Each structure stands twice: as C-alpha cells, then as structure tokens.
Amino acid sequence: MSDPRELYQQVIIEHNKKPRNFGDLEPCTHQAHGLNPLCGDDIVLKLVVEDGLVKDIRFQGHGCAISKASSSLMTVNVKGRTQAEAEVLVEQFRAMIRGTLDVEHQAHDLGRLTLFSGVKDLPSRVKCAVLPWATLHSALHGEDTTSTE
Amino acid sequence: MTTAVLPLDVPGIRRDFPALTTPFHGKPLIYLDSAVSSLTPLPVVERMSRYQSFEHTNVHRGVSTLSQEATDRFEEAREKVRAFINAPSVKQIVWTRGTTESINLVAQTFGRRNVHAGDEILLSAMEHHADIVPWQLLAEERGATLRVIPMNDDGELILDGLDDLINERTRLVGVTHVSNVLGTINPVKEIIARAHAKGVPVLVDGAQAVPHLHVDVVDLDADFYVFSGHKLSGPTGIGVLYGKRELLEAMPPWHGGGSMILSVTWEKTTYAPVPARFEAGTPPIAQAIGLGAAIDYVTALGLDRIAAHEHALLAYATERLQAIPGLRIIGTAREKASVISFVLDGIHPHDIGSILDHEGVVVRAGHHCAQPVMTRFQIPATTRASFAYFNTREDVDALVSGILKVQEIFQ
C-alpha cells in the first residue's frame, strides 16, 4: 500500500462515521461476541435468521475505522442473503485479506467489500478487518464468543 | 541551587542507532516507541556479538578458562545492575526473563507463602497487566482479594485514603514507579514509607522508570524492585528482580533444575542460596552481558542529562500536541516521564497508528496492556508517543505533521 488513502477511502471513512445496522437487536435468533484481545476491539453481533435467510442483522461495540467499516459493510452485504451465501462471503473475505483470493482476477461475490483488499498489505490490521466476519461465522455456528487470537 | 546539566550530543548518539539512518517506508525512521522497547545502541549489540562470537560457553559450570571468563563477565553484569540501582549486594540481584517474570516469581514464592484466604493485595489503579494478573492468579488460588489505590483525572494516585486501604489483612502493595500509559511518576518513596508504617512490604514495578530516573532502592526502601533489559537500551529476554535479602532468603524456590541446588538425591534436594536459588537452568548469558553494556552506555551518557533532554522534549511535545484541535492528552500529572498518550476526536488510535507508521513515525496504539487504565478514563485505547535520549524536536514535529495528516484523511 503506497498511501494510507488507498485503504482509508471515502466509503470506509463514511461507514466509520455512520455505521449501518448499528445497535441492538432483540429478539434475535443468533448472536456472538467478538474480541480482539491484542487491541481491545469489541463487537456484539445479533441476527434474525428465518427459513435459512438472514432477515436482520445489527452490531454494537467499539473498534477502529477498519473494523467498524468492515462490520457496517458486512451487515449491508449479509442482510437478505441466505445463511449459505453469508458463509461464502465469510470465506471469500478471509481469503481476500489473507491474499489467497485475487479479487481482480478471480471470481467472487464480494462486490464493494473489495475496498478492504488493501488490508492484506497491513498485517497489523488484518485482525481488525476480519473480526466482524469471524464473529458472524461464530454466530451462525452457535458459538457465543470468538477471538482473533 | 540547580546545577547546570550539559546537553547530550544527540547527533553523535544517533549514529549509534543504525535504524535511525536507514529508510523506513522510504522515509527517515522516527522512533517514538521506547516505552514499548528501546532501540539497542551499537556498543550493546557489539558487546553481545563479541560474547557470542569469541567468549561463549555456559556459566557456573566446568573448569575451563573459557567457562571461568564467561562466568566472570556474567557476574560483572550483575554487579553493574547492583551499582545502577544502588543495591547493597549482588546477592540481591536475581536474573529473570523480564519484569513480568520477576513479578510472577514474587507472586509464586513470596505470595504463595504469605497470602492466605481473606488476605488482601493492594495495587495502584495504573498498573499494567503484568502487575495485575499474577496477583489475580494468586488471589484466586489462595482466596485472597485485590484492592485498588484510585487515581484522579490527571492520572495521579489519590493517596488520601491509603492509610485506610492498607490494613491488617494487606500482605503486599504493588505500584508502578512510572506509568507506561500516563507517564505519571508515582511518589513511591512516600507509598513505601506509609506501607512500612503498617508493616506491609512493597513491590515497585520499575520497567518504565529505570530508563529515565535515578533509582536508588535503598533510598526508596523498596522491598522488591523489578525491571526489564529491553526498555533500558538492552536486549529482550533479560530482567531483574531486586529484593531485600531477608525476604529473598525466606522465599522458597520457584523453578527447579540445574544451578539452583546445593545437592540432589532421590530422597531430597537442598537449595542454593539466593540469587542462584531462583536461577534454574542456563541463564540468558549474552543478554545479561548486553544489559551490563547498556547500563554502561546510559551511565556514560548520564541519567541527569538524559532526564533533562527528555523532559525538554516532553514539554515541547505537550505544548505542540495541546495546540491540535480535537486532541486530548490522557495523563496530565505534575510529575511525568517522557510518555504522552492522547486521543483524537472521532479517530481510533489504531487508525492513527497505521497512518503515522506510513509517515515513518512509530508509536504505540492500543490499550498498552493496561485495560483497567483505559476503563478508568472511559476510552478503548490511546495513541502513545514515548521519547528517549536519541529523539529530537524534529521528531516531535514529524509526529505533529503526521497527526494533522490523519485528521485530514478523516475529515
């Protein structure tokens, strides 16, 4: 990444300032608590999944712009999808951040989430971007908590 | 009357740190993270290299000349530590892997012997995790309780109620000499005196103090004083536990193995006197010698001159940072070492740290292994700049420029 502006694009800054689907969700069918013990980023994710469809999803907590924007854009992209499709997004997002999915040359469903592809060049920030996705994975698998460690 | 202190030859000093003249992200490296780990000057690196290349063998074993000389170098380093903190005897200097291990050693030996159900351990509100978790582990095991000396919004300990907090159940007081987050220099001499008035020993965490202050364990009357090599221009993997002799001698062994014994039979082991009793196995020899060289290095520079230089940098940095709109300094104690933590309105420290890193400015961003301090100030994290003797006003200017760029990106 030659310039931090490549990562901190306007969309990420904007989602950090005004995160979508931010707040509590009760009642819910799935929830998980995600924690990055190294830096203290903390997210509580709640979902309503009916008939295999993510009907609603919201998150609360605190973290950096990368983790907050990642959470916000995740909720936008997951809402209305099937649970199976959400799982595919989790895997593709993780692969993009790990650098094993080349979003420019390989097929994927990530859409605007490719905004985060620059994170792979910032190893210290990978966990920030991945935390909400790891939390989503835990929530969908009935695990109460997840940690990036 | 104050004595004038000659300024440091900072350009000359900087030549001892190759990292400072090697491009970092294509820019000069501005290292403002000495509180996490100080850079190591060439004389220290070269001293360790000489030992590894020409003098290496194990210590306290064998009759070879090489072994004897390695032992001499290793024990000379212990003497350097003794002199550096004015300990009465080298027998009171125990090598450990670092501050954290030193505290764990005390918790697991002194603590397990002296702390029982219903007892209390009193810690300051600004301790980092290394001086909290070992005591929590002990307290859980023994059925004891941790109590906390509170602090005010400036990051100063509130000592008004200290005499009530220390009671007949208190078995130990643990306090950091200098806060790694707030920079606060705590009045440890006063705290120790007040604890001793109630017959309670005090452990002082000096990890952040020894690089900046003259430490005299006799003058302080500290019962235990602990620090790490790598924050004192030395290597990682080496630390020090100083203890009062009667306390150390009453403590049972912790780790068992070679070097900590007098004799071993299948029926019984008798233990070596201190400090060997607490130094099982082959010690970090190159690291101990390296720490000795680091003490030589900072002593030659002069701690008074280091303190004066860093104090001036702290004042300059404080003034410049305070002038940035939306920036709030966390930790505004009257007595501070060269550490500044701050938060920026609406911008998380991790983002600040990443962007500053790209500008070549290395700072720490996070909870600094002191989450209770973050909770006290109701913030998740801070950005922390910490200064050493090789830093300059230009480094502070680079920090300020970087912060302005962060704000520009987040506008």
Question: Who has greater pLDDT, B340 or B3?
Answer: B340
Q: What is the mean pLDDT of residues B266-272?
A: 95
Is A40 in contact with B381 (Cβ distance < 8 A)? yes
- What percent of chain A stands above pLDDT 90? 77
User: In this predicted complex, what is the ipTM?
Assistant: 0.88
In this predicted model, what pLDDT tens digit does every residue of B144-157 receive, in sequence order? 999 999 999 999 99
Question: Which one of A5, A8, A64 would you mutate to disrupt binding with B, by most B Cβ within 10 Å of its Cβ?
Answer: A64
DSSP 8-state code for residue B7: P
A-B CB pairs within 8 A amount to: 51
Q: Which residue of B has its CA nearest to A66?
A: B351
Provide the annotated active-site residues of B: 369
Interface of B with A in 318-357 (CB under 8 A): 346-351, 354-355
Q: Please, which residues have CB within 8 angstroms of residue B403's CB and are 6 or more apart in sequence?
A: B321, B324, B327, B344, B352, B356
CA distance B379 to chain A (A): 10
If we measure between CA atoms, which residue out of B202, B192, B208, B247 comes closest to residue B225? B202
Average pLDDT, chain A: 92
The alpha carbon torsion through A88, A93, A98, A103 (nearest 10 deg) reads 100
In whole angstroms, give the CA distance from residue A47 to residue B353: 32
Per-residue pLDDT for B2 more than 60?
no
Q: What is residue B6's predicted lDDT score, i.e. its pLDDT?
A: 83
CA distance A125 to chain B (A): 8
CA distance B97 to chain A (A): 21
Question: Alpha helix locations (H) across B268-376?
Answer: 285-301, 303-322, 349-358, 371-376
Is A63 in contact with B354 (Cβ distance < 8 A)? no
CA distance B335 to chain A (A): 28
In whole angstroms, give the CA distance from residue B344 to residue B405: 12
From chain A, pick out residues whose CB is under 8 angstroms from the CB of B351.
8, 64-66
Is B367 in contact with A64 (Cβ distance < 8 A)? no
Binned at pLDDT 50, 70 and 90, residue A6 comes out as confident
Per-residue pLDDT for A40 more than 80?
no
- Closest in B351, B371, B409 to A64, CB measured: B351
- Closest in A7, A17, A128 to B350, CB measured: A128
Q: Measured between CB atoms, does B374 come within 8 Å of chain A? A: yes
In this predicted model, what pLDDT tens digit does every residue of B187-203 receive, in sequence order? 999 999 999 999 999 99
- What percent of chain A stands above pLDDT 70? 97
Q: What is residue B291's predicted lDDT score, i.e. its pLDDT?
A: 98
What amino acid is encoded at B243 in this protein? G
Task: Classify B43 as helix, strand or coil.
Answer: helix
Q: Please, which residues have CB within 8 angstroms of residue A3's CB and are 6 or more apart in sequence?
A: B358
DSSP 8-state code for residue B242: E
Per-residue pLDDT for B346 more than 90?
yes
